[in-house]
Amino acid sequence: MPYVEVNGLRKKYRDSFELRNISFHLGKGEVFTLMGPSGSGKTSLLRNICGLDTPDAGSIVIDGREVNDLPTTRRGIGLIFQDLAIFPHMTVFDNIAYGLRAKRAAESEVRSRVMELSSILSIEDLLDRYPSQVSGGQRQRIALARSVAPSPSLLLLDEPLSSLDQQLRADVRSELKSFSRELGLTMIYVTHDHHEGLYMADSAGIIFDGRLEKSGSPMDIFESPGSEKVSSFLGYNVISLKGRRIAFYPTDFEISMEKGDVRGVVRSIGYEGEFYRAHVETESHESLQLTFPHENGTVRIKTGQSVNIILRRSVEIE
């Protein structure tokens, strides 16, 4: 039986944006990642789940109990905001203890829980500092500790890593995953980065214009994107081939000088470190991105050159 169920959720906003009939579920201790481009409705969906916005229709059930009519304070849901929202006037300790004290936990319990979490997250040396005195990665951990401290039944994370640089982002992402597994947290994780989303997920969904376009296991989603929108979001090239719409990944091709599935002209090519990236315009004026390693030998292709592309693997889409 699912631990969290969102059924037919609808919400119309003033700016005419709406969440349209959204349904998904996840089991206890699982991580569901919600992916989609900016403005697709990811944050709005989280706000409805935790009660900061009220749905027009549909139900939100957590552990068998419908929570639609419960105020945010009584839903027992933790939320990590995109800007982290760490209280600037409180020390790190007080920030982490905030939710426990709000629940009127005994001070000894507060102290032991704060010490336990800060030890797991390696921030025990920061407890007396103010948020302005810690680094970006440390702030991330503080926000995580604060949200987890009251033992929420569900933890929502709204693009929590968006403010970090790439390297730190990868480190914190990995820590977050092991931390969530260690504590058995049930989480809904929102991101616009499909690599991050797939990495974190037990199950995932992709949302466009307020509609959940695709959901399933990370592998299902990536291997069978299904629609053009989802394919493009996941980084696929989408083209028409022999009357069908197909998607192929930028790495799944070979360049041939003789005959191929698709013919096009190289519009630009550049070195990105791990690989080369080329932009190719097909004869039917579709734009493709191709990436290939140095040793591939195909780096001999030049801007303006005509090439034949052989697709190694592709999927048919709607």
Partner 1 sequence: MNIASRTWLSRILATIPALLIAVLVIVPFAEMLSRFLDFSSIGALGGSSPIALLTRRAIENSLVQGMLSAATSFAVGLPLGFFLGRYEFRFKRLLRSFAILPIFLPSIVVVTAFISSFGPGSPTHAIYSGSTIFSTGLSGIVAVNTFFNAPLVAMMTMLSVERSNRTLDEAAMTLGASGMRRFISVWGRDGIIAGAGGSLLAFLYSFAGFTAPLIIGGPGYFTLEAWIYFMVRTLNNIPLAAVMSLVEAGALLLPAVFYFAFIGGTKRVYGTGRPPAEENRKHSPFFISGALYVAAWTGLECYILGSVFYSSLRLGQSSPGFGNFVLLFSTRTTVALGLPTSAVLLNTMFYGIMTSLLVTLIGLVWIYGKRRAASRALIVTDTVQFIPLVISAVIFSLSLAVTFEYTTSFAFDWILIIIAQSVLAIPIVLRVMEAGFSAIPPSYTEAALTLRGNPFFEVEVPIARSTLASALMFGFAMSLGEFTATNFLATTSYIPLGVQIYQLQVLRIFGAAEAAAAILLLMSLASFYVVQRAGEVFVAVR
Per CB under 8 A, 64 contacts partner 1 = no
Nearer to partner 1, 72 or 308 (CB): 72
Structure tokens given for 83 = 């800007």
Please give the Cα distance from 103 to 109 (Å, whole number). 11
Scan residues 140-179 and list those touching partner 1 (CB under 8 A): 146-147, 150
Partnered with residue 280 across adjacent β-strands are 266, 288
Q: Which of 52, 61, 299, 315 binds partner 1 (CB under 8 A)?
A: 52
Cβ atoms 277, 291 nearer than 8 A: yes
- What strand order describes the sheet that includes 253-256? 253-256, 306-311, 262-271, 276-282, 287-292
Q: Which of 99, 137, 225, 264 binds partner 1 (CB under 8 A)?
A: 99
Nearer to partner 1, 73 or 166 (CB): 73
In the complex, the smallest distance separating the C-beta of residue 186 from partner 1, rounded to whole angstroms, is 15
The interface region with partner 1, picked from 2-10, 87-95, 167-175, 293-301 by CB under 8 A, is 87-95
Per CB under 8 A, 102 contacts partner 1 = yes
Q: Which of 89, 242, 259, 300 binds partner 1 (CB under 8 A)?
A: 89
Per CB under 8 A, 50 contacts partner 1 = yes
Q: What is the CB-side half-sphere exposure of residue 93 using CA atoms within 13 A?
A: 11
The residues of the shown chain that bind partner 1, judged by CB under 8 A, are 50-52, 54, 69, 71-75, 77-79, 81-83, 85, 87-89, 98-99, 101-103, 146-147, 150
